[in-house]
């Protein structure tokens, strides 16, 4: 080839030369691509890449020499056949190395799987061991808790028994103290009853109560008329109730112990009339009762008092009847509520008692006169 004369290449030769260049470039690109392409799992080793790259370079050099020397271009088919042998060897080496890599990967996968299985077995064994230990500890704790509960139950039972015993003793002691206190109270009450039963008031006590009632009248009037309300009303009511109770007390003592005196016969009814008449006149002044009702009540008292004086002169005893007693009760209740002046429903009750007391005043007056009319006949 070196002795050939350089001539202008024919068109066919130019075409073959271009085809050869293209083939060489394709082989080089394929080799470079195969050498540079990354494979995640089965990547060709660097040794194979180094073998493929020189082969591609050799092809490129050979093609360049053919072009530069002007030698007759080797046919493409022969070029491919010439270049296919090292490429085939390179491919075979690559396949063999790929197979080795695949086998290594499989072995590594098997090793990883075995390692994972061993680790899983170890974990399972460790978990089972921990479970056994936990069950054992739980059983121990449960046993200790049961023992503690039994001990606590025994202690609570012991404390309960002790507390019950102390409570029983305390109850017995309290019962004994209560029995002794009750016995002492009974003895003291018996002594008080005996003292009251054996107490004999002096003969002047009824007269003293009558005088005390008369002395309460100005106190009552002053509280009711001039003291600031409502305190004056309440205090006047209390004084009136006490005075009324002295009237009941002196009459009972005089009859019980036969302490009858001329002073008592005269002053006791007079004190009653002064107390009631003073209260009614004050209520008229305060506008709490009509004056004509008070005139009827006071007139009745004077008529009955005069009638009894005449009967005493004639030796006739005029006993109090039930109408007079009812009149006194309702009249006292009426005066108490009107003096207190609580207002509301109490004033309404006082108004009802007023009309009942007025009716009983008239009825008791007529009854007294009809039952003792012979006193008036004797006067004639």
Residue 224 CB contacts under 8 Å (≥ 6 apart), including other chains = 232, 233, 236, 279, 282, 286, 339
Assess whether pLDDT exceeds 60 at residue 258. yes
Question: Each residue of 30-88: pLDDT tens digit?
Answer: 656 655 555 444 444 555 555 555 655 665 666 566 555 555 555 555 555 665 666 66
Across 263-276, average pLDDT = 83
Question: Each residue of 227-248: pLDDT tens digit?
Answer: 888 899 999 999 999 998 988 8
Give the model's pLDDT for residue 199: 55
CATH number of 205-379: 1.20.120.1760
Residue 286 has which token pair?
């305060």
221-225, 271-275, 315-319, 347-351: range with lowest mean pLDDT: 315-319
Assess whether pLDDT exceeds 80 at residue 94. no
Q: Where are the domains of the chain?
A: 11-123, 205-379
Across 93-102, average pLDDT = 80
Assess whether pLDDT exceeds 90 at residue 350. yes
**Which string of DSSP letters, residue by residue, matches 289-355?**
S-HHHHHHHHHHHHHHHHHHHHHHHTT------HHHHHHHHHHHHHHHHHHH---THHHHHHHHHHH
In angstroms, the CA 38 to CA 60 distance is 24
Assess whether pLDDT exceeds 50 at residue 225. yes
Question: Each residue of 188-209: pLDDT tens digit?
Answer: 877 776 665 555 566 678 888 8
Q: Are 76 and 23 in contact (CB under 8 A)?
A: yes
């Amino acid at each position: 080839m070196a002795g050939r004369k350089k001539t202008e290449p024919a068109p066919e030769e130019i075409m073959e030369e271009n085809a050869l260049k293209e083939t060489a470039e394709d082989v080089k690109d394929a080799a470079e691509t195969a050498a540079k392409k990354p494979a995640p799992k089965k990547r060709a080793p660097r040794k194979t890449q180094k073998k493929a790259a020189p082969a591609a370079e050799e092809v490129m050099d050979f093609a360049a020499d053919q072009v530069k020397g002007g030698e007759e271009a080797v046919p493409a088919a022969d070029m491919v056949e010439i270049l296919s042998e090292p490429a085939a060897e390179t491919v075979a080496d690559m396949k063999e190395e790929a197979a080795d890599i695949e086998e290594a990967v499989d072995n590594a996968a098997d090793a990883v799987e075995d390692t994972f299985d061993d680790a899983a077995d170890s974990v399972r064994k460790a978990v089972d061991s921990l479970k056994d230990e936990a069950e054992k500890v739980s059983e121990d704790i449960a046993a200790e808790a049961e023992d503690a509960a039994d001990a606590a139950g025994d202690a609570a039972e012991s404390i309960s028994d002790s507390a019950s015993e102390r409570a029983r003793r305390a109850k017995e002691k309290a019962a004994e103290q209560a029995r002794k206190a009750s016995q002492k109270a009974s003895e003291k009450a018996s002594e008080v009853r005996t003292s009251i039963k054996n107490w004999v008031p002096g003969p002047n006590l009824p007269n003293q109560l009558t005088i005390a009632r008369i002395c309460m009248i100005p106190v009552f009037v002053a509280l009711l008329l001039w003291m600031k309300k409502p305190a004056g009303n309440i205090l006047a009511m209390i004084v009136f109730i006490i005075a009324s109770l002295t009237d009941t007390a002196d009459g009972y003592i005089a009859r019980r112990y036969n302490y009858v005196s001329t002073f008592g016969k005269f002053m006791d009814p007079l004190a009653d009339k002064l107390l009631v008449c003073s209260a009614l006149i004050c209520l008229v002044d305060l506008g709490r009762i009509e004056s004509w009702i008070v005139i009827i009540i006071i007139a009745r008292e004077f008529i009955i008092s005069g009638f009894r004086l005449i009967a005493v002169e004639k030796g006739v005893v005029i006993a109090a009847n039930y109408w007079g007693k009812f009149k006194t009760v309702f009249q006292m209740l009426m005066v108490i509520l009107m003096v207190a002046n609580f207002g509301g429903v109490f004033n309404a009750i006082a108004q009802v008692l007023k009309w009942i007391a007025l009716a009983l005043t008239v009825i008791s007056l007529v009854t007294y006169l009809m039952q003792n009319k012979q006193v008036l006949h004797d006067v004639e």
